[in-house]
């Protein structure tokens, strides 16, 4: 028995039709594709067609969720900021000896950076495309300011810039470790354990300001004040 003309065609059409996905899921797929491609190829070298292909959607559908490619980059920036803002806020006083506390926050920062290396790569590599969006550097500045105040409080520092500069150097060394080891490929030449690196950096930083678990910095300052000036 032959089928009547047109019979079976609706079923065949359903078989090849892509299932309708929720809008939130499609948006997540576009952003996931953008994270990968922007980090690998760069923002300008990635076309909307590349994004659509990687997200397994029609080219035109991208514009239903984002007005342009720049809006996709801005949404990725939102994701990056959310990741780092989710890190615990630094307290006013260290709950541990300073070297141990530095190791604790350094470990959390490096872990978050490594888990989102594609986003960090975009943040670093696409500064021109992200011009005007200073939220990430504002986050680093705020974290360094908070840590700087804590360092000054713990060591009895009188110079308000001392703690901030120390904190900036500490965060900078953490960022450099991840970029050098993971992004630029230094890990293939000399592998370093992140735990060892962070512990050494934390101890070196604390020792440099005389607070590796002891109030040596404060004692040294008091000794200098008691010492008579030469020639008197």
Q: What pLDDT shows up at residue 228? A: 52
More confident residue, 191 or 128: 191
Mean pLDDT of 161-188: 94
pLDDT of 221 higher than 80 = no
Predicted confidence band at 178 (pLDDT cuts at 50, 70, 90)?
very high
Predicted confidence band at 159 (pLDDT cuts at 50, 70, 90)?
low
Report d(CA 41, CA 49) in Å as an integer.
14
Instruction: Please provide the DSSP assignment of 54-113 as one string.
Output: HHTS-HHHHHHH-SSHHHHHHHHHHHHHHHHHTSPPPPSS-SS-HHHHHHHHHHHHHHHH
Structure tokens at 11: 């079923």
Q: How many CB atoms lie within 10 A of CB 174?
A: 22
Instruction: Write down the mean pLDDT value for the chain.
Output: 83
Looking at the chain, the number of H-run helices and the number of E-run strands are: 11, 0
72-127 pLDDT tens trace: 999 999 999 999 999 988 887 778 899 999 999 999 999 999 999 999 999 988 98
Report d(CA 76, CA 80) in Å as an integer.
6
**What does pTM read for this prediction?**
0.76
Report d(CA 16, CA 114) in Å as an integer.
39
């Amino acid at each position: 028995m032959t089928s009547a003309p047109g019979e079976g065609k609706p079923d065949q059409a359903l078989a090849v039709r892509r299932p309708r996905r929720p809008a939130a899921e499609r948006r997540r797929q576009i952003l996931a594709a953008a994270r990968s491609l922007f980090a690998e190829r760069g923002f300008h070298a990635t076309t909307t067609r590349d994004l659509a292909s990687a997200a397994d959607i029609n080219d035109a559908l991208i514009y239903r969720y984002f007005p342009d490619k720049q809006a996709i980059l801005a949404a990725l920036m939102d994701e990056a900021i959310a990741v780092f803002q989710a890190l615990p806020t630094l307290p006013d006083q260290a709950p541990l000896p300073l070297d141990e506390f530095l190791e604790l926050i350094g470990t959390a920062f490096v872990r978050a950076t490594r888990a989102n290396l594609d986003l960090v790569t975009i943040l670093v590599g696409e500064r021109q495309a992200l011009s005007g969006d200073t939220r990430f550097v504002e986050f680093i500045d705020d974290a360094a300011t908070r840590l700087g105040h804590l360092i000054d409080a713990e060591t009895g520092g009188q110079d308000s810039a001392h703690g901030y500069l120390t904190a900036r150097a500490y965060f900078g060394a953490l960022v450099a470790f991840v970029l050098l080891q993971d992004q630029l490929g230094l890990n293939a030449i000399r592998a370093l354990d992140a735990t060892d690196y962070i512990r050494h950096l934390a101890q070196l930083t604390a020792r440099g300001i005389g607070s590796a678990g002891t109030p040596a910095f404060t004692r040294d300052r008091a000794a200098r004040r008691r010492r008579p000036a030469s020639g008197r």
